[in-house]
Homo-oligomer: A and B are copies of this chain.
């Protein structure tokens, strides 16, 4: 179904009595057109409802100013924050962004990468390192900048701006261990879904010199998962003295579950979140958590791509760190 014919640059040229090139130059604000003509052409373009055709432009330029961004989910303020910083930075640089959510599925991601590449993007942002081998190979060959965010590794496909989640888990664990807690538990997601959380769990185990008791509710909503996880924990045998949660939302759900069972936090059990989202400022008791540099991460990832596009050198990998937020859901034991 071909669309109705749109007005093209040559239509304007005919109407203005000039050549197509002059119109092209005038509309792009390129020098080489008298101001009188330019003004006439611009007003003519508006009157004829001219809309430039980026598909044609991209074809001649063999290039676009599009950057594709793949995130696991939008149901999480973490990624909304990252995205916010990233898009603002790109927008200021005149770069348009295209967002995709993969729902933590590498296959979905791989399909998206293929589709995106066919639009000749200027750059690509991926979340984490769990890509299909085909994706890694494809992107390694493509000549465009690729940034992997959120997670951190020294050997990214191309560039990387993220956090060392194992170190983050270790730091958070060390703080809580230092308060005297000795029977830690962890409420996470179904295995394999969130690799970063699993790495934090490894760090936590390290800090406690023992494996954590792990609960994996399957609810997809984080609040509900937290409450379900909290209940699983209450109904399990030995009660832990502190529970680390995959994120703040899960921690909130767990907190509600504990209260539902008549437990006082932090007197009867400690609760620790992750991310330091605004909701933690509103809870009945301030949540102990780790503040993650989300917006900053987005900004730096965008800058890394922009540097590449401008031919400026930029570090291959960059590791940001989180900050322990003491809060009041743990206390010295």
What residues of chain A have their CB less than 8 Å away from a CB belonging to chain B?
1-4, 49, 51-56, 58-59, 61-64, 73-75, 77, 80, 83-84, 87, 96, 98-99, 101, 114-115, 117-120, 138, 141, 143-144, 221, 223-224, 226-227, 252-253, 256, 259, 278-279, 281-284, 309, 311
Q: Can you tell how many copies of this chain the complex includes? A: 2
Tell me the bound Cα distance from A133 to B63 in angstroms.
32
A224-B278, A226-B282 known, 6 other contacts, Cβ within 8 Å: A2-B62, A52-B118, A55-B120, A73-B80, A75-B80, A256-B283
Tell me the bound Cα distance from A179 to B311 in angstroms.
67
A187 CB to closest chain B CB (Å) equals: 13
B119 contacts A49, CB within 8 Å?
Answer: no
Between A77, A83, A283, A309, the greatest number of chain B beta carbons within 10 A of the residue's beta carbon is seen for: A77
Tell me the bound Cα distance from A54 to B227 in angstroms.
46
B252 contacts A282, CB within 8 Å?
Answer: yes
Write out the residue numbers on chain B whose beta carbons fall within 8 Å of the beta carbon of A61: 2
B223 contacts A279, CB within 8 Å?
Answer: yes
B141 contacts A115, CB within 8 Å?
Answer: no
Supposing A63-B2, A278-B223 touch, asked if A55 and B119 sit within 8 A by C-beta, the answer is yes
A282 contacts B64, CB within 8 Å?
Answer: no
A106 CB to closest chain B CB (Å) equals: 16
Supposing A54-B118, A114-B51 touch, asked if A3 and B226 sit within 8 A by C-beta, the answer is no
Between A119, A144, A252, the greatest number of chain B beta carbons within 10 A of the residue's beta carbon is seen for: A119
